[in-house]
Structure 1
Amino acid sequence: MSRKHHHLKGAEVSCCVKYFLFGFNIIFWVSKYSLCIVYLLKTLEKGVLSNLSSITDLGGFDPVWLFIVVGGVMFILGFAGCIGALRENTFLLKFFSVFLGLIFFLELTAGILAFVFKDWIKDQLNFFINNNVKAYRDDIDLQNLIDFAQEYWLCCGAHGPDDWNLNIYFNCTDLNPSRERCGVPFSCCIKDPAVNLFTFSCLSNLIFKKDLEWQKYIYTKGCVGQFEKWLQDNLIIVAGIFVGIALLQIFGICLAQNLVSDVQAVKANW
């Protein structure tokens, strides 16, 4: 009995675990503020990304609201984790660990579903890119996004340059008065390695050039195929990022549970 009493009397809350958990939750706070910036840009710059919901097959749902919801969840979790750690509040610590575990389970479920329904995801990616092609000139942010994707993955259109015929400015109908008729955006053009600039002949009379000649001036591979190739080439890095995030979440849950155990041991000693 005396040894047991001495052990309980010596129970104390680990300062390392306590402040480690506090520091861990700073990540949630930083993430929350980053997502709030996205929301402020959405609010202050009216019209920016205003047509994002119209080019996604989500029934009119604006994906920007997803950032707001995620930011709100991170704010609540960060608050519960920080205050729970500093005040040694077991209720907030349990709330933090349970919801962090729920998020981990949802992410794991999403990963499994993404693997099972990968063909559906590919169809949605095709749908998204084709609608981006149609709305290329309607939103400067979408235009910059697709230009970045085409330059980064060395691609043009969803499946090839012919996809740009869907855009009213680039289509090849005789009634199209646009100066860009039968052309493609500059981001499809192959840069001259000597000066790191686009060749002037890239867009001139593109319709009169044969498909084989296109390879001299523009990227002929589609962005969907190039994105899949990029994923395969960087599979270890992508998987490592997701595994790292999962380990951080498990680490946070373990810290919270460890701190709860310490607090309960101290209370039992009272």
Structure 2
Amino acid sequence: MVMSGKHFNVHEVGCCIKYFIFGFNIIFWLLGAAFLSVALWAWSEKGVLSNISSITDLGGFDPVWLFLVVGGVMFVLGFAGCIGALRENAFLLKFFSVFLGIIFFLELTAGVLAFVFKDWIKDQLKFFINNNIRAYRDDIDLQNLIDFTQDYWECCGAFGPEDWNLNIYFNCTDTNLSREKCGVPFSCCTKDPAEDVINTQCGYDIRAKDDNEQKMFIHTKGCVPQFEKWLQENLTVVAGIFIGIALLQNIITDLKG
């Protein structure tokens, strides 16, 4: 049985491959929709949807953009792959495959450029983190993102706790009347397993103490070197993701015939 237009011979398409692609993409599609919903809800709570110009008010990075971009890409890809596999539509499957190829190429290019221009990337990453340190108290989503990053990678600042001197609430200047003066956020603190409740004041005045005493209470390594360390330790996982994308593209190519 041959289908007209841009459709395939039914016998050319294996049912297992077809429904595997369909199942994978419907999950991808729903996740994309969830990400977009969370992003729109977050902007609604912050009043951005009622005042679009406020998007540029934040001095640092708004994490909502991450949800919007990732959710948008996942939604479009999931839709194309889901409908393309179910209907065996050549255009949608080709669009899905090409889009995956572009993403794979961009990831590969980013990896090569990061290796070649390592020092420049490190400087840009430092600039990006420090810029967001300045805006730490300006946006609750940014604050949560920084706290999560410092807690997960057990780091503090871009290259060390002294980077928090850039923030008006944490700097050590005489004009700073904040109680957090010469301190760091609680996410910089080392965790005590015996404590059930997080001590949000554990970083108060810590940078006014000497280095040896600081090491007893907070993480003194910066997030940039800790990220580099994490990337090296998880290189196999990153490579596996690349290989997985490549294999998925081959499956889609087989599906297209």
TM-score range, shorter chain: 0.7 to 0.9
Which deviations, in whole Å up to 9, do the C-alpha atoms of 1:77-115 show, x marking residues without a partner?
444433333334334433443443344333333332333
2:185–2:200 Cα contact (<8 Å) kept: no
Deviation at 1:207, TM superposition (A): 4.8
Identity percentage over the alignment? 68
Q: In the aligned structure 2, how far is the partner of 1:205 from the partner of 1:220?
A: 15
* Corresponding residue for residue 144 of structure 2: 144
* Corresponding residue for residue 35 of structure 2: 35
Which deviations, in whole Å up to 9, do the C-alpha atoms of 1:47-96 show, x marking residues without a partner?
5795697435xxxxx78557545544544444443333333433443344
* Corresponding residue for residue 227 of structure 1: 227
Q: In the aligned structure 2, how far is the partner of 1:191 from the partner of 1:63?
A: 25
Q: Which secondary structure state, in structure 2, belongs to the residue aligned with residue 177 of structure 1?
A: coil
1:192–1:199 Cα contact (<8 Å) kept: no
- Residue 135 in 1 paired to residue 135 in 2? yes
* Corresponding residue for residue 51 of structure 2: none
Cα distance, 1:231–1:76 mapped onto 2, change above 3 Å: closer
Give the AA of the match of 1:185: P
Pick from 41, 60, 75: which aligns with 1:55? Answer: 60
2:31–2:71 Cα contact (<8 Å) kept: yes
* Corresponding residue for residue 265 of structure 1: none
1:21–1:82 Cα contact (<8 Å) kept: yes
Q: Which secondary structure state, in structure 1, belongs to the residue aligned with residue 11 of structure 2?
A: coil
- Larger mean CA deviation between 33-42 and 215-224 belongs to 33-42
Q: In the aligned structure 1, how far is the partner of 2:76 from the partner of 2:156?
A: 42
Cα distance, 1:176–1:233 mapped onto 2, change above 3 Å: same
Written as runs of structure 1 = structure 2, the 5 A alignment for 1:99-118 is: 99-118=99-118
Cα distance, 1:123–1:41 mapped onto 2, change above 3 Å: farther
Q: In the aligned structure 2, how far is the partner of 1:91 from the partner of 1:118?
A: 39
Which deviations, in whole Å up to 9, do the C-alpha atoms of 1:183-213 show, x marking residues without a partner?
1112222233433566799445435422222
* Corresponding residue for residue 217 of structure 1: 217
* Corresponding residue for residue 14 of structure 1: 13
Deviation at 1:134, TM superposition (A): 0.9
Written as runs of structure 1 = structure 2, the 5 A alignment for 1:1-270 is: 12-16=11-15, 17-46=17-46, 50=55, 54-55=59-60, 68=68, 71-195=71-195, 202-203=202-203, 205-251=205-251, 253-258=252-257
Give the AA of the match of 1:55: G
**What's the TM-score once normalised by structure 1's chain length?**
0.74
Cα distance, 1:31–1:121 mapped onto 2, change above 3 Å: farther
Q: In the aligned structure 2, how far is the partner of 1:220 from the partner of 1:242?
A: 33
Higher relative contact order (CA 8 A, sep 6+): 1
* Corresponding residue for residue 3 of structure 1: none
Give the AA of the match of 1:256: L
Q: In the aligned structure 2, how far is the partner of 1:186 from the partner of 1:172?
A: 17
Q: In the aligned structure 2, how far is the partner of 1:195 from the partner of 1:76?
A: 45
Structure with higher Rg: it is 1
